[in-house]
Amino acid sequence: MKTNIRAAIALAAVISAACSPDAPAPYGPVPTPQQVAWQKMETNMFVHFGPNTFTAAEWGDGTEAEDIFNPTDLNCLQWAQTAAKAGFGGIVITAKHHDGFCLWPSPESSHTVAASTWRDGKGDVLRELSDACAQTGVKFGVYISPWDRNDPRYGTPDYNAAFVNTLNSVLGGTYGTIYEQWFDGACGEGPSGRKQVYDWPLFNGTVYQNQPDAIIFSDSGPGCRWVGNESGQAGRTSWSTLNPEGFAPGMYNPDLNEGVKNGQAWIPSETDVSIRKGWFWKESENETVKSLNKLLQIWYESVGRNSLLLLNVPPDTRGHLHEIDSTRLMEFRAALDEIQVNVAAGAKAQANTSRGRGFKASALVDGKYDTYWAANDGETAASIILTLPEARAFNRVMIQEYIPLGQRVESFTISVPDGDGWKTVAEETTIGYKRIVLIPQTTADKVRIDITGALACPVINNIELYQDNIYVAEQK
């Protein structure tokens, strides 16, 4: 009897699997699970700290005395706690900037914290920050500049091997898991007056050997790419795919901002921008801390455009995030919480097509990341309508493509009810991991999204509506 029941259950499972439509095949290059996890972090914190903090410079020349680095009250826990409260998932610190000074006692250099009088030469900023990150649940990442204006070997074949040792000493495990390795492409002259020919395959290989899950940032990836400007703006068209062949970090690739439709590799953009005028803290720039409105603009134009925001908040000479910056961050967080309340809660979703069971429009509003609506193979246009329980006010539409299956949508429109018909209020191009479209103030019980072009059948996992009463867009 038991055997019969088991057989019946097995048969039912076979029949059900046979009747369920298949999930869409991935289209083009797709992200690794690490890239998906990275993209979901959405906002991270950049920390520029080093001799420049004490000399008010942006680029030290490598001749600064080690004693210049002397924070009077280093408090990495304050950085990590502030980052956590601001909702940042990770911190990337300038372990070594172009001046070559190492914030940890690197055995590969004499120009480090160990040669300073700070904490009698026993200090280690990476130790303190990685511990603070572990304590607060914030991920830890590092910027290690290959350009080194102090190392006498820079500009000779010996330097690349030395740089590998430098990488190993940070990435080898002493500081735990490193979620992001930030490679700046800058390649200027070293103390010998010569430039270095960098061995990028060697450097990237060294990172992966030590930290297989790390996302490597550079002008051309491989983990993520520079967005092409330092003003906080991803392209309104924003593909996560790029053609990196023929480009190395430091070479300007004109496609960095918008990416490339049908590009060769999945290399999403990261938008790095400073909360202040400069990358390093300067007393004279305390008044340049960006307004809440500006930060929200940056957020809409980065996170809202399929990019990750890496916001630089540089510590001061005490070794604290300055109160002007940390207060602004708390205002930013409060605003982000307020403007991301889903006004479409309880909405029903319908689509004029779907793949069938398991891929129906209801997945668009179930709040789950891994369930999605998908059209049939060969269909590259579709119409989706959300019906709210009653008329509600909204002025933002948030849409997410299910990127584990690739980026597909190349054009879409948003319409709202108008008399007996519809009025189109936005015409846009790409979606990607997340797209937030600003639309005119609307009160309605419906919204329609028409996908008008896609590289393969569209696969959308979430649609939400927001009412933002805070951000005032500049008139362009």
Q: Pick between residue 66 and residue 272 the one whose CB is nearest to ligand FUL.
A: 272
Count of residues binding ligand FUL (CB under 6 A)? 6
Q: Pick between residue 214 and residue 365 the one whose CB is nearest to ligand FUL.
A: 214
**Minimum CB–partner distance for residue 137 and ligand FUL (Å):** 25
- Which of 66, 184, 270, 410 binds ligand FUL (CB under 6 A)? It is 184
Q: Does 199 bind ligand FUL (CB under 6 A)?
A: no
**Minimum CB–partner distance for residue 53 and ligand FUL (Å):** 12
Q: Does 251 bind ligand FUL (CB under 6 A)?
A: no
**CA distance from start to end of the chain:** 75
* Other residues' Cβ atoms within 10 Å of the Cβ of residue 460: 26
Beta-carbon contacts of 476 under 8 Å, excluding residues fewer than 6 positions away, are: none
Q: Pick between residue 59 and residue 208 the one whose CB is nearest to ligand FUL.
A: 59
Q: 164 forms bridges with which residues in the sheet?
A: none
**Minimum CB–partner distance for residue 95 and ligand FUL (Å):** 12
- Residue 77 CA to residue 395 CA, distance in Å, equals 38
Structure token pair of residue 337: 């919480």
Q: Pick between residue 184 and residue 428 the one whose CB is nearest to ligand FUL.
A: 184
Q: Pick between residue 64 and residue 272 the one whose CB is nearest to ligand FUL.
A: 272
- Distances, alpha carbon 130 to alpha carbons 121, 126, 142, 174, 178, in Å: 19, 6, 10, 9, 9
Beta-carbon contacts of 248 under 8 Å, excluding residues fewer than 6 positions away, are: 185, 198, 200, 219, 220
- Distances, alpha carbon 445 to alpha carbons 10, 35, 338, 395, 420, in Å: 44, 36, 21, 13, 13
- Which of 15, 25, 161, 186 binds ligand FUL (CB under 6 A)? It is 186
Looking at residue 91, the DSSP 8-state letter turns out to be E
- Residue 259 CA to residue 267 CA, distance in Å, equals 8
Q: Pick between residue 60 and residue 458 the one whose CB is nearest to ligand FUL.
A: 60
- Which of 64, 148, 272, 464 binds ligand FUL (CB under 6 A)? It is 272
**Minimum CB–partner distance for residue 162 and ligand FUL (Å):** 21
Q: Does 99 bind ligand FUL (CB under 6 A)?
A: no
- Residue 213 CA to residue 234 CA, distance in Å, equals 25
Beta-carbon contacts of 315 under 8 Å, excluding residues fewer than 6 positions away, are: 47, 49, 53, 71, 79, 281, 321, 322
Q: Does 401 bind ligand FUL (CB under 6 A)?
A: no
Amino acid at 384: I
Q: Pick between residue 35 and residue 94 the one whose CB is nearest to ligand FUL.
A: 94
**Minimum CB–partner distance for residue 149 and ligand FUL (Å):** 11
Q: Does 239 bind ligand FUL (CB under 6 A)?
A: no
The contact pattern for ligand FUL, residues 49-68, with x = CB under 6 A and - = no contact, is ---------xx---------
8 A C-beta contact, residue 123 and residue 71: no
Q: Does 279 bind ligand FUL (CB under 6 A)?
A: yes
- Site residues (vs ligand FUL, CB under 6 A): 58-59, 184, 186, 272, 279
